[in-house]
Amino acid sequence: MVRGKTQMKRIENTTSRQVTFSKRRNGLLKKAYELSVLCDAEVGLIVFSPRGKLYEFGSPSMQKILERYQKHSEENSINKIFKEENTQSLKREIANMEETIRILESSQRKMLGEGLASCSLKELSNLESQAERGLSHIRSRKTEILRNQIEQLKKKERILSEENAFLHKKCLDSLYMDGSVSASPTIGFGGVEQVEVETQLVIRPPNVQDHLPLNNLNCNSSLI
């Protein structure tokens, strides 16, 4: 004889309900015992009958099972509270960051000369002061960069000058070794020729003609 499928609803007949409770209770206790033995699991089972009678099974003991369950519940509760507080803190932080970003964007637009219609005279003065300070910092930084570049160029110039002098000396040394240039040239490489000029001063008595009047000179010239 095939048993029909039991419907999952309350058994109205008291006797049948009591018999079903006894059978399924024993089966449930047996399954809990098998689970604890076969799987080395800690199992706690509590059953109250319709009349209020207690049936329990605990492995290793119901007291240890309840203590562990309570500890686990408290930890879960603490973790839940911590997660909620952390979530609220993150939400507040996000809101503060969004407000900060909004203020910075508004300030940036005003610094660019946009949205100034709602600004008061004091706010405009503050924006002007900020712009002047920013411009001063920009110019100072620009000057510093230019000075550094100039120093680097001067350093390169000194290095190139030293290399040029070294190559010049090396070229002269090679020319002297080949004998193509005299050991004591009168004209140096890139130099200027030095010429000694001898000057002679002659002192003689003055000539009479040098002191003749202009008229006498004219007369003499006419006579001649």
Other residues' Cβ atoms within 10 Å of the Cβ of residue 55? 14
This prediction has a pTM of: 0.37
Residue 128 domain flag:
no
Residue 162 domain flag:
no
Do residue 51 and residue 74 come from a single domain? no
Q: Which domain holds residue 112?
A: 62-118
Residue type, 64: K
End-to-end CA gap in the chain: 185
User: What is the band of 217 on the pLDDT scale with cuts at 50, 70, 90?
Assistant: very low
So what's the pLDDT on residue 199? Answer: 47
Do residue 82 and residue 103 come from a single domain? yes
Tens-digit pLDDT profile for residues 79-90: 888 888 888 888
Report the chain's mean pLDDT, rounded to a whole number: 80
* Domains held by the chain: number: 2
Helix (H, G, I), strand (E, B) or coil at 59: strand
- Compute the C-alpha angle 53/55/58, nearest 5°: 150
Residue 66 domain flag:
yes
Tens-digit pLDDT profile for residues 108-129: 888 888 888 888 888 888 888 8
Residue 144 domain flag:
no
Helix (H, G, I), strand (E, B) or coil at 46: strand
Contact, 45 vs 32, CB < 8 A? yes
